[in-house]
Amino acid sequence: MTNKNRYEQGVSMNLFLTFVKFHNTDNHNIINNMGREIKFSLVYRDMWQSSGKYVPTVAQLKEVAPAIIEMGCFDRVETNGGAFEQVNLLFGENPNRAVREWTAPFHKAGIQTHMLERGLNALRMNPVPADVRELMYKVKHAQGTDISRSFCGLNDHRNLRLSVEYAKKGGMISQVALSITNSPVHTVEYYMGVVDKVVGYGCDEICLKDMAGIGRPSFLAELTSQIKKKYPHIKVQYHGHSGPGFSPASMLEVARAGADYLDVAVEPLSWGKVHPDVITIREMLKADGFKVKDLNMNAYMDVRALTQKFIDDFLGYWIDPNNSHMSSLLVGCGLPGGMMGSMMADLKGFHGAVNASLRAQGKPELSLDQLMVMLFQEVEYVWPRLGYPPLVTPFSQYVKNTALMNLMALLKGQPRWTTIDKDTWNMILGKMGKLPGELAPEIVALAKEKGLEFYTGNPQDAFPNELDKFRQIMKDEGWDCGQDDEELFELAMHERQYRDYKSGVAKERFNKDLEAAKAKAGAPIVVERPVVEMPKFDVDDIVRKYPDAVPVQAPVKGQLLWQYDVDDASAAPVAGTEVEAGKPCGYVQTYYGMEEILPAVSGRVVAVCARQGAMVVKGEIVAFVVK
């Protein structure tokens, strides 16, 4: 080779390296990642939880497990956590047996299992005493769960410290999940501040929990890169829903930035508001130069067929068909895709009352689509003023509910913030953790006007230990605490559901629920009306007669119980009954337990629109109250 050729070759190589380094970071990452393995986790629990009311029974889970294993491409499977235990209790079945039998075949095959828990709230929607939280990790590890994925909806590291410490003490791998969202305060530096804290507490892994799927791919890549650069020993797993459509790009970017695991789903529940399908993601990564495990397509088709079989059997009765659709509308409001169905139920419940009010004011009525766009816009208005709480359970509900009440007030010619429920106030006041952003001045002023005090202490301190109390209950009832105290744990975590399971009420209720669902199959979803005679109310008449009437709504879908443990259909409150704002005037039995019906204002009931025991949908107006 001549000197000229060597020189030209050297110049060409230098130019190429300069181009790669400074002008094409993606290609640089491809070169560095060539041959690096990306591992997959099948989020079988979350596939169902993001789609409908129930998850498969233990018999169904045991049936599908061999086919999942035979697929050969999974190093991890998400088996339990979240509402998994409550669902089994609602079946009238033992959730401890479900966890043990579901995780066992994966252990035998060398596949890790992981669960999801909510930090301060553990496996429920409200705070849990520290001693009950500690017992959870001991029980779940003994039952066969390897990894605890722990998240705080506010990303408050104080709520995660005990999750890390207790998981490690219980023999589990501690994975802390960052609740990902897109806002001016949720910067890479913000999230790295949380990472620094939880790594200091001793966590083993970090998950990017992109629950609404709105994390921008480049942002997620930068966050992943910084985590891996600062803490190379920390494994990074990405969990992103498909709703707004970013997830495949996000998965490619975090893989290029150093992520180790990706959460994926399988048909017929993949995509839509759930998760990307393993086939697509695997092929995408393989084409990008990553090493990925082989996929047995015959086994995939078996899992696909079994999942469809479970849907056809009974689970599909409670799957919202809208969950199969992706929507770019989710990009703007930032709400998790799973909330679209419940949001539409809210809007349908309000639609009649809104239009009745507009007619009374001589204004034009609104279509449901117009109302939906207005609600999305109101969420965008409300969210920053409430301190940018990540829109994940339960904080997404608080933001959406506040936006809904604001919208109702504005359409009636009233000011915003007229109605804020008790749980949202607890979030605002810091009782659930520190908000990521600053509250708007009008919210702070409103709190002072109401004489409310802001809380700056550790949220866990407000909930004293309770295990001794529950041990005494087990003794008094003559119940065994179970292997590894697992029965004691279920009682302490889900007291009411556990009592219903033990008494047989839960199984009886589920069987009736299933019979009703089968009877309605193929028919329009309608709200059941009274079996006994009740006064019939017309929304227009109520609004005309009581222009200041405030609707009382069902907070969730389920069975309306104006009173606990009362079968009499006439148990609803009568007109004239006094109710107090923020204090329960009734309850809704859901698949995960009881939800309180909280009036927005204090006053007297002027109309009751649903009987005791009726099935109601989320947002349905069940009564009207006048101040």
**What pLDDT score does 5 carry?**
45
Nearest of 134, 132, 192 to residue 161 by alpha carbon: 134
Domain CATH number, residue 238 = 3.20.20.70
What are residue 589's DSSP bridge partners? 559, 594
| Contact partners, residue 358, CB within 8 Å, separation at least 6 | 364, 365, 366, 411
Write down the mean pLDDT value for the chain: 87
Q: What number of residues does the chain have?
A: 627
Residues 6+ apart with CB under 8 A from 546: 606, 624, 626
Same domain, 307 and 345: no
CA–CA–CA angle 299, 300, 304 (5° rounding): 115
* Tally of CB atoms within 10 A around 393: 19
Instruction: Report yes or no: 450 and 115 within 8 Å, Cβ to Cβ.
Output: no
Helix (H, G, I), strand (E, B) or coil at 173: strand
Mean of the pLDDT values across residues 135-143? Answer: 98
Q: Does 501 fall in a domain? A: no
- Where does the pLDDT of residue 345 fall: very low under 50, low under 70, confident under 90, or very high at 90 and above? low
Q: Residue 200 is which amino acid?
A: G
Is 516 a member of any domain? no
Predicted confidence at residue 247, as pLDDT, reads 96
End-to-end Cα spacing for the chain: 94
What's the number of domains the chain is made of?
4
37 and 26 in a single domain? The answer is no
**What pLDDT is recorded for position 340?**
58
Residue pair 611/569 in contact by the 8 Å Cβ criterion: yes
Answer for the pair 171, 147: CB distance below 8 angstroms, yes or no: no
- The fraction of the chain above a pLDDT of 70, given in percent, is 88
Q: 558-594 in b/e burial notation, b at 16+ Cβ within 10 A?
A: bbbbbeeeeeebeebbeeebebebbeebbbbbbbbbb
Task: Tell me the CATH number at 558.
Answer: 2.40.50.100
**CA angle, residues 58, 60, 65, in degrees to nearest 5:** 95
Name the 3-class secondary structure at 460: helix
Residues 571, 514, 598, CA angle at the centre, nearest 5°? 40
Mean pLDDT of the region 319-344: 73
Side-chain-side CA neighbours of residue 62 (13 Å): 9
Task: Tell me which of 402, 430, 461 is where a domain ends.
Answer: 461
Give the Cα separation of 138 and 166 in Å (integer).
8
Q: Is 488 a domain residue?
A: no
Say whether pLDDT at 594 is over 80. no
Give the tens place of pLDDT for each residue, 269-323.
999 999 999 999 999 999 999 999 999 999 999 999 999 999 999 999 988 787 8
Q: Angle, nearest 10°, between helix axes 58-71 and 297-313?
A: 160
Question: What long-range pairs does 464-467 form, CB within 8 A, spacing at least 24?
Answer: 464/129, 465/129, 465/130, 465/131, 465/132, 466/129, 466/131, 466/132, 466/492, 467/129, 467/131, 467/132, 467/135, 467/492
pLDDT-derived band at 328, boundaries 50, 70, 90? confident
25 & 37 share domain: no
End of a domain among 323, 355, 370? 323
What local confidence, expressed as pLDDT, does residue 538 receive? Answer: 63
CA-based radius of gyration for the chain: 26
Same domain, 605 and 618: yes
CB 69 within 8 A of CB 42: no
Do 442 and 385 fall into the same domain? yes
DSSP 3-state of 362: coil
- Which helix (H) or strand (E) segment holds residue 29: the answer is helix 25-33
Among 323, 351, 375, which residue terminates a domain? 323
Asked whether residue 139 is assigned to any structural domain, the reply reads yes
Ranges 63-72, 324-333, 612-621, most confident = 63-72
pLDDT grade for 337, boundaries at 50, 70 and 90:
low
Give domain status of residue 383, yes or no: yes
Tokens of residue 187, six digits: 């910067």
Q: Does residue 209 sit within a domain?
A: yes
pLDDT score at 350 = 74
pTM of the predicted structure, to 2 decimals: 0.79
Residues 300 and 445 in one domain: no
Q: What is the pLDDT of residues 534-588, one digit of tens each?
A: 445 566 677 777 877 888 888 887 888 887 544 445 566 777 788 988 888 988 8
* 158 & 50 share domain: yes
Report CA-CA distances (Å) from 595 to 341, 591, 626: 18, 10, 23
pLDDT, position 174: 98
Amino acid letter for position 213:
G
64, HSE (Cβ side, Cα atoms, 13 Å): 24
My answer on whether 276 and 346 are in the same domain is: no
Report the pLDDT value the prediction gives residue 540, as an integer from 0 to 100.
65
Residue 553, beta-bridge partner list:
621
Q: What is the token pair recorded at 268?
A: 């017929």
Q: Looking at residue 325, what is its pLDDT?
A: 85
pLDDT, tens only, 366-390: 888 888 888 888 988 999 999 999 9
Pairing of strands 621-626, 615-616: unpaired
Task: Write down the pLDDT at residue 358.
Answer: 84
**3-class secondary structure, 254:** helix
pLDDT higher for 9 or 249? 249
Q: Which of 444-448, 473-477, 525-529, 609-613 has the lowest mean pLDDT?
A: 525-529
- Name the band, by pLDDT with cuts 50, 70 and 90, for residue 246: very high
The CA-based dihedral angle spanning residues 113, 118, 120, 122, taken in that order and rounded to the nearest 10 degrees: -50
Rounded Cα distance, 496 and 61, in Å: 25
69 within a domain of the structure (yes/no): yes
Closest to 496 (Cα-Cα) out of 528, 473, 515: 473
Tens of pLDDT, residues 188-230: 999 999 999 999 999 999 999 999 899 999 999 999 999 999 9
Strand order in the sheet with 550-553: 550-553, 621-626, 603-608, 578-579
Higher local confidence (pLDDT), 337 or 346: 346
> Residue 377: inside a domain, yes or no?
yes
Whether residue 125 is predicted with pLDDT greater than 90 in this model: the reply is no
Mean pLDDT of 453-457: 94
Alpha-helical segments (H) within 450-529: 467-477, 486-493, 495-503, 505-520
Q: Any idea which residue has 């579901």 for tokens?
A: 102
Range of the domain at 556: 539-626
Dist CA 38 CA 473 (whole Å):
48
| pLDDT score of 59 more than 90 | yes
Q: Are residues 361 and 454 both part of a single domain? A: yes
Q: Is 25 found in the same domain as 37?
A: no
DSSP readout, 228-246?
A: HHH-TTSEEEEEE--TTS-
Closest by CA position to 321, among listed 616, 43, 49, 51: 51
Q: Are 175 and 144 in contact (CB under 8 A)?
A: no
- Angstrom CA distances, 329 to 321, 403, 405, 484, 618, stand at 17, 16, 21, 47, 21
Distance CA 427, CA 529 (A): 35
Any idea which residue has 């190379």 for tokens? Answer: 232
Q: Are residues 95 and 151 in the same domain?
A: yes
Backbone angles phi, psi at 425, to 5 degrees: -60, -40
Q: Are residues 1 and 121 in the same domain?
A: no
